[in-house]
Amino acid sequence: MPHILLTGAGFSRNWGGWLADEAFEYLLGCQQVDDDIRALLWKHKGLGGFEAALSHLQSELDRRQDSASEQRLAKLVSAISEMFADMNKAFSAIESFESHNSPEYQLRSCLFRFDAIFSLNQDVLMEQHYLTSSFAAASRGRWNGWQIPGMEPIPPEGVQPHEMNWVPMDASEFVLKEKCQPYFKLHGSSTWIDDRSGREMLIIGGDKPSAIERHPILRWNHEQFKTYLSKPDTRLMVIGYGFGDNHINDAIGEAANRKNLRLFIIDPLGVDVLTKIPRPLTIHLLGSPFEQLESSVIGASRQTLREIFGGDTVEHGKVMRFFS
């Protein structure tokens, strides 16, 4: 029975990471954001926020193919990169990833139990505080180590995780190592560099599936996500993901429709987060792909990770029942 984890922005929020509205407010104050870009951000405030503004600029460049459009896009991309750099730097100063002194009730002890971890996040919180040199010993024999499959750090090694860049390996080296817990980043990362262009490998804005297709490592990561979901009796825990990406929802929904999936949700909205999923008119007419998803849910928690793994033994017991 495979156990896999999917994390979204709400996961990092437990340590101060910004959600979309807070990211929007950060970007308003960036030096790169002039009055023109600021007005565009406000225009998209209730229509998808900064990602919608970025999507607008991406589409504008595709349509016009001129230097003015390229410069406008570059300004917002630069501001977003600065935002992640500031967030990663702040995460590096966190003294303790844990809220409880007893290993039995620590978050790490829960994370070690997953066969694979998938993330939509582009910060490096996990790289700094979970994927560390003490990983193997702390897992008490569960793992010999960890890996970010298909990626390798750019020398020099030994710098702080939030300062270390990673590049894709050759496709022939996209492999899973035995007894190493895999950590897949489905939308790239603020520290991943596309060695073909020299740019950050960040999937943000509109038409994410097409952007993913341009990067072999991200295509492979998504195939791995689907492969894990297709295994019989898979259990998926989702932490801090608002079900706002159709390509992710489709993969989860397909697994639920095959009766392969059992789902547990950790979110302030609990199971009600499923009612917030955007559903086009055609879905209402033809039937929702999430009809089976609701029958796959085996529980939820509305508490924060700090509470669940910080002394609330009642809620901790409910969450850990996921592994039973």
What's the topology of domain 3-16+98-323? Answer: Rossmann fold (3.40.50)
**Where do we find the tokens 């405030």?**
45
Backbone angles phi, psi at 286, to 5 degrees: -100, -10
Q: Whole-structure pTM over 0.85, yes or no?
A: yes
pLDDT in tens, the chain (324 residues): 899 999 999 999 999 999 999 999 999 999 999 999 999 999 999 888 999 999 999 999 889 999 999 999 999 999 999 999 999 999 999 988 988 888 889 999 999 999 999 999 999 999 999 998 899 999 999 999 999 999 999 876 667 766 789 999 999 999 999 999 999 999 999 999 998 888 899 999 878 999 999 999 999 999 999 999 999 999 999 999 999 999 999 999 999 998 889 999 999 999 999 987 765 533 443 455 566 788 899 999 999 999 999 999 999 999 999 998
Query: Exposed, middle or buried, 198 (CB in 10 Å: 0-12/13-18/19+)?
Result: exposed
Q: What is the DSSP string of 244-290?
A: --HHHHHHHHHHHHTT-EEEEEESTTGGGGGGGS---HHHHHH--TT
Contact between 189 and 202 under an 8 Å Cβ cutoff? The reply is yes
Each domain of the chain, given as residue ranges in start order, spans 3-16+98-323, 20-92
